[in-house]
Chains A and B, each alone.
Chain A
Amino acid sequence: MKKYIIFLFVLALSAGFASCSNDDPSSTSIFNKTTSRDSLDLWLLKNYTYPYNVAFKYKWEDIESDKTYNLVPADSAKAAKLAIIVKYLWFDAYTEVAGEDFVKSNVPRVIFLVGSAAYNDNNTMVLGTAEGGLKITLYMVNSLTDAMLKNYSTLNEYYFHTMHHEFTHILNQKKPYDTNFNLITESGYVSGSWYQYTSSQAHQAGFVTPYAMDEGKEDFAEMMSTYVTTSESDWNAILSDAGTGGAALISEKLDIVRSYMKDSWGIDIDDIRDVVLRRAGDINNLDLNHLN
């Protein structure tokens, strides 16, 4: 009897699973199949998307932007020039030292350009952000002048320092660094109030930049990005400004950065620095007005 009842139950239930609709999926795709591309789009496809599987997004996409800020799109002509430089100074530099595969597997999948700066209400502004190793956003593209594009120290301050910084975050997210790093200047981290310190104050406290005082992972990224974009004499100037105490702390942290890059990624940071600086010296010879 019980079996009978259960059988009835099953029958009744399965009867309830009746489908009444002939809702076959529509054959029409919801995605736009016809995309018109201009010469810059084609160049980006050839130089970023096909070789590295990277989307270089210079056109505004609301969904990619940080809606906390009031931002405007990038100027397309300036975006094109920046695209040429980014490839030359960043992608190609790492390819030269660590090989194409390293770059392919570790660069962010999306590079998103924003025309204006992201201003915070404490008189600071965001120059770049990296999100989960997936995306790097670069701001202030519209402020680029031709003079700035030929001036490495300006470019470095606004972009390349940022790119190496954010790229370091991506590497750290894939392979964590030795947390002993965070202990070396543990008492020096001031989180959000870093911007109240001058460069010299930061140096003397054992940090390469004021922003390094934010927290350990930012310190690590600042160490790496400052080191590989700074000539030996400028680096020594930072160390001498830091005084004996500060210089010792910076060097101790640099040793961890150096061994992390060597052990985790097989990269000698001095090689990276040499290549980055050599390429930086060449940017005057780059043709920024033609997409080759």
Chain B
Amino acid sequence: MKKVIYSLLFLLVTLSFQSCLHDEKDIFSENASERIEKAVTVDKQMLESSSNGWILNYYPGESYSGGGYVYLIKFKNGKVTVASEITGSDSTFTSDYAMIKDQGPVLSFDTYNPIIHVFGEATADNINSDEGDYEFIVSKATTDSIVMTGKKWGNKMIMTRMPATTKWPVYIDSIGAMVDSVECNFKYMKGKDSIANVVIDPDTRIAKITTSTGSTSLSFTPTTKGILFAKPLSVDNTSVQDLIWNGTDEKFTSISTSNVSLVFSPPKGFRKITDIAGTYDLYYYNNTKKYTFTLTPNAKRNGLVAHSSTFPYDFTIAYSKAWGTLSITTQDIGSYGPYDNVKLCPLSLASGYFTWSSGIGMNLEEVSGKNFYYKFVDNGMWSYPVDSFIFVGYINGTRSGYLSELPYVTYLIKTN
């Protein structure tokens, strides 16, 4: 018994022989709360230090799945002013921001801003939202760039300092012009070998890369000179991220990787919008009557405006930049006479119904073997077969008049 007690005592006494030497050096000179306080202050000063703001390449969608967009953001006295190429060069929105202590120093856009929060906002039809972050963990802040990670969806994004002399509208417009001017279908060239097909979709901001082994998707952001992939695009031991558009040669080249380029390579039968433009006869009433229209490419090059001297309304024939195909769907024409809006609506004369739902209409399919000889075909997006179009007048949002029809449309044929 005594032995046990003594050995216990001995044990206890040895426990008290703890070392009191302060030989563990602090890694940091300040404690954690002081350091984060300092980081928040320094980051905030850095954000506000750029008088002309920052360029943010914004990536919504978990794992960069939602494309990329360019935001211009200026921080001043707790307020933030934002512009983007989505909303256009003539609109900016101001709201609040804060640098807070959260998961590290966090940049939080804490009151609503129509640009910053648009991808994070759920709707009744999309309750998961488009997965856009508006709170960011700032991991690095230098005078040139701020590196940060979305708190909820986890995409890493970088803000770069906007040059002090560049005007915002000019910058935004040059991004918009780039989006409108790039082609969509490319061959990925390594030297003289084509090793992949790449489709650059300027609407979704997602590139689809198809190689002999399969296909992948990669989000990109437009830049003033071309496009920037969210991550390096690697094919066959080559890697590119920052591409520069050459409109004359219709190709993308890379600064860092010299032997790689993306060369415009349209799919079989592809029609460029400039080649489609011209004078056409639109046949209707089962080929018994016709109107003559001139088709002119619009500024965004995603449609041709159809104008006729004998038909009262101009309308738009949509053009797919990726596929070079044409279609006519429900659209607003604009005001006419007493009507504040005229709508082009697909009509099923055979069934006696028309619709004002978007996306419904007819495709124009080029008849094989005949150039610019298009046949009207129902696009199948409605429960009734579309065979005609009707122009409906609206006053204050109320249907108020049935103005004209293009009944039983059949062919659109180039004459000049």
Contact = CB atoms under 8 A, between A and B. Distances in A.
B134 A72 contact: yes
A73 B109 contact: yes
Given A58-B111, A119-B122, A123-B124, A12 B12 contact: yes
A15 B120 contact: no
Interface stretch (B94-102, B263-271, B374-382): B94-102
A15 B131 CA distance: 58
Contacts of A18: 16, 18, 20
A9 to B, nearest CB: 7
A16 interface: yes
A23 to B, nearest CB: 10
B112 A70 contact: no
Most B CB within 10 A of own CB, among A5, A73, A78 = A73
A26 interface: yes
A195 interface: no
B103 to A, nearest CB: 9
A115 B112 contact: yes
Given A9-B9, A73-B134, A20 B18 contact: yes
Contacts of B96: 59, 76
A36 interface: yes
Contacts of B135: 60, 62
A13 B12 contact: yes
B308 interface: no
A15 B16 contact: yes
A18 B20 CA distance: 9
A125 interface: yes
A54 interface: no
Nearest to A114: B112
A119 B134 CA distance: 19
A2 to B, nearest CB: 9
Contacts of A146: none
Contacts of A21: 22
A228 B50 CA distance: 53
Interface string B183-196: 00000000000000
Given A69-B122, A70-B122, A12 B108 contact: no
B122 to A, nearest CB: 4
Contact of B95 (A30, A69, A76): A76
Contacts, number: 105
B81 interface: no
Given A30-B37, A36-B78, A120 B127 contact: yes
Q: Is the interface of B mostly helix, strand, loop or mixed?
A: loop
Contact of B124 (A59, A74, A78, A119): A119
A106 to B, nearest CB: 29
A32 B13 contact: no
A76 B9 contact: no
Interface in A1-34: 5, 8-9, 12-13, 15-16, 18, 20-21, 26, 28, 30, 32
Nearest to A57: B110
B393 to A, nearest CB: 26
Contacts of A76: 95-96, 111-112
A8 B117 CA distance: 69
Interface in B34-69: 34, 37
Contacts of B121: 70-72, 115-116
Contact of A38 (B78, B117, B123): B78
B112 A20 contact: no
Nearest to B78: A36
Nearest to A21: B22
A258 B275 CA distance: 78
Contact of A28 (B22, B33, B102): B33
B290 to A, nearest CB: 48
A31 to B, nearest CB: 9
A271 interface: no
B129 interface: yes
Contacts of B110: 59-61, 73
B15 interface: yes
Contact of B112 (A30, A38, A75): A75
A62 B102 CA distance: 9
Contacts of B34: 26, 28
Most A CB within 10 A of own CB, among B15, B111, B121 = B111
A70 B120 contact: yes
A200 interface: no
Interface string B68-107: 0000000001100000000000000001101001100000
A121 interface: yes
Nearest to B19: A20
Contact of B128 (A9, A70, A120): A70
A117 B129 CA distance: 12
Given A70-B129, A73-B110, 20 more contacts: A5-B5, A15-B13, A16-B18, A26-B33, A26-B34, A28-B33, A30-B37, A36-B78, A58-B111, A59-B110, A59-B111, A70-B127, A71-B122, A72-B121, A73-B112, A75-B95, A75-B111, A115-B121, A116-B121, A119-B124
23 contacts: A5-B5, A9-B12, A12-B13, A12-B16, A18-B20, A20-B19, A28-B31, A28-B33, A28-B34, A28-B37, A38-B78, A59-B110, A60-B134, A62-B108, A62-B135, A70-B120, A72-B134, A73-B110, A73-B111, A75-B112, A115-B117, A119-B123, A119-B127
What are the 7 tightest A-B residue pairs by CB atom distance, in nearest-first order? A15-B16, A70-B129, A60-B110, A30-B33, A12-B12, A75-B112, A119-B127
